[in-house]
Structure 1
């Protein structure tokens, strides 16, 4: 590993072209990020404190929310610091750490959404055997596998990325991601080619394949729902709708960001400034905010738990 490269300082060129839009974006990011942290912390605290929520679905939700906080915190405090101080530089080591956290966030989000889809599938298709299938032992292992495997694969990829030769030091995006780092590599660097191939494999393994599995499970769920009575249909759909909404939002955001980053179209100067921040907001700011909010509004059990603890707080326990 080349220590001279690791000591390099990179520059975010996009921030210097924002002008007065910095203040607007800062307020937007700060508002949504704080709301996301508060909503996430509230739902996590309810799941932790209320034993009635110690169920597989909410344990998986807890893991999903933690992952969302890690992903958003890997980006937005740094972005807000740049917007406040105009210091648009980042060390290469810090950049690689950000790449690792963001890639892990995306991969773990999809694996956990797939695990949650499996949980809903078992709940609907094998209701009498649900607690036998989704026992504490299996739940624990699903969380560990859904987290550790993506993290280990991403870590291996980042180790290879850290060995590429850099011929540029300016980043055209709002934060460091794998594409932005590979764009800095020398054109004849073999490591950059290998890293690009591994990145595509990772996208397929932790985005395309999980997406296919979730869609397949919901197609089967829809087929079984259509055979139910109207009342049973509504109840079944209510148990799946929070997960389905989160899955659709995150899938749209990740697919849009991935495709837009890869095709890299010719755009105007104004679009070159707006695009990185739109992609960053769409992929790493909105989904972590949506996750606790959707479950907070859609889940009767979480709403019931919230009102229970709110009454205790008002009455002074």
Structure 2
């Protein structure tokens, strides 16, 4: 990394133009962020405390919740600080750290949701083989592969971005992105854009294909079963379907938004950020907490036990 470049801060000009909306945005993000943080951690604690929930689906759900915490925590505190102070700036190193964690966050959510779809496929379509296929060791191995591949690909993107020599240092967006930094470079480079697009395809298009394929098989199987079996299958699949559609839509808009020029309405900046980094980490545990009967029962059991004590 060029040392002369790294010492020059990157200034976010959008914050100073929000005016009276600053305080309202701070309250909104703070409430959503703290709420999402608490709900996700409660969900993780409930699953960890209840031994009967130590099954593949719930292990994946814990990782989904922790990924949401990492994603929102990598951007929300910085944005709240930027909204409260007079000078909104970040070092290049700080931006690159944010790029790393936001990339890992987006990839983790998609990949874990894909593993959850596979878990539902095995559970419904191959119930007799479920315990031999979805063993704890295999689930841990799949998760380790997801984290390793996503961390490595994100590290490569950060490395490529860090080598750029910057001639400009002002951006009109809420947070750092590899393309945001690339647009500040002294010369045009397509490598980062192409690499980022390839990564997006691998963690969005390919997982979407696998999830759709899983549900095609699931629906083909449950259509041949009784009404009661269909209802039970849909109860276990509905939370996942809602979470996946929500995050897929948010990611689609995020990818399109990142490839637009800086001249986009401020409302689009805010909506894209909230829709990708704030809503999914808050919505996912609420959906699973409401829709999954075992989690509701576990929460009620823990609350009763604490009340009796």
- Superposition TM-score, scaled by structure 1 size: 0.95
2:22 is aligned to 22
**8 Å contact from structure 1 (residues 161, 195) kept in 2:** yes
Matched, 1:279 2:272: yes
Q: Secondary structure at the match of 2:190?
A: helix
The corresponding residue for 2:232 is 235
Contact 2:172–2:262 (CA<8 Å) still a contact in 1? no
In the alignment, what sits opposite 2:145?
A: 145
C-alpha deviation, 1:86, in angstroms: 2.6
What TM-score do you get using the length of structure 2 for normalisation?
Answer: 0.97
Report the CA distance shift for 1:2/1:174 in structure 2 as closer, same or farther (over 3 A): same
Q: 1:155 offset after TM fit, Å?
A: 0.6
Partner of 1:133: 133
How many Å apart are 1:313 and its aligned residue? 1.2
Counterparts of 2:79 and 2:306, CA distance in 1: 36
Q: How far, CA to CA, are the matches of 1:153 and 1:140 in structure 2?
A: 20
Aligned partners of 1:279, 1:223: CA distance in 2, in Å?
Answer: 36
Q: Cα distance, 1:87 vs. partner?
A: 2.8
1:261 shift after superposition: 2.5
Q: Give the equivalent residue in structure 1 for 2:253.
A: 256
Match of 1:123 in 2: 123
- Once residues 45 and 238 of structure 2 are traced to their aligned partners in structure 1, the CA distance between those partners, rounded to angstroms, is 22
Superposition RMSD in Å:
1.3
Name the structure 2 match of 1:172: 172
Q: Which residue of 2 aligns with 1:104?
A: 104
Bigger mean CA deviation after superposition, 108-117 or 256-265: 256-265
In structure 2, the partner of 1:293 is 286
Instruction: Pick one of 196, 200, 204 that aligns with 1:203.
Output: 200
Given that 2:65 and 2:281 are in contact with CA atoms closer than 8 Å, whether structure 1 keeps it comes out as: yes
- Unaligned residue ranges in structure 1 (runs of 5+): none
The 5 Å alignment of 1:33-182 reads 33-182=33-182
The 3-state SS of whatever aligns with 1:161 is: helix
Distance 1:78 1:265 in 2: 20
Question: How many residues were matched structurally?
Answer: 309
